[in-house]
Amino acid sequence: MKIKNTKKAPEQKVVARKTAKAAAPKAAKAAKQSVTFTVHAEKGKAVYVAGEFNGWDPAAKKMAYKARRGVYEATVNLKPGTYQYKFVIDGVWCADPQNAESVANDQGTFNSIITVK
């Protein structure tokens, strides 16, 4: 003899859930690297570095005087690539005298070049 269950099973609610889609692999971002610019100039000068990396703003990146070495120094974080730059010493734009890599500009002078790998 079979026993019949007369109770109904409680109804179950079906819940639709959104699941996170697997993110598409992102291209590896090129890590920025610290690049230190140095230039010899007399103590007390107003010295800046300007270039493609800061919109050629002559006052965007002030360089600090390092008395022990007698140089002005500034560090900029740059992505890999090639950048043109100049120093601005007391308002006078100067190519980097320690860097032989340069390119002519539209002002009839030269911009120094740095390549970050």
For the stretch 46-60, pLDDT in tens is: 999 999 999 999 999
Look at the block and give the residue holding tokens 């100049």.
Answer: 86
Look at the block and give the residue holding tokens 């730059």.
Answer: 85
Whether residue 93 is contained in a domain is answered as: yes
Among the residue ranges 10-14, 72-76, 112-116, the one predicted with the least confidence is 10-14
CB 96 within 8 A of CB 39: yes
Note the pLDDT of residue 100: 96
Instruction: Give me the chain's average pLDDT, please.
Output: 86
Whether residue 68 is contained in a domain is answered as: yes
| pLDDT tens-place string over residues 70-105 | 999 999 999 999 999 999 999 999 999 999 999 999
Residues 6+ apart with CB under 8 A from 66: 72, 73
pLDDT at 112 over 70: yes
The pLDDT-based confidence of 10 (bands split at 50, 70, 90) is: low
Range of the domain at 56: 34-116
Whether residue 40 is contained in a domain is answered as: yes
CATH number of the domain that 41 lies in?
2.60.40.10
pLDDT at 61 over 90: yes
Q: Considering the entire predicted model, what is its pTM?
A: 0.74
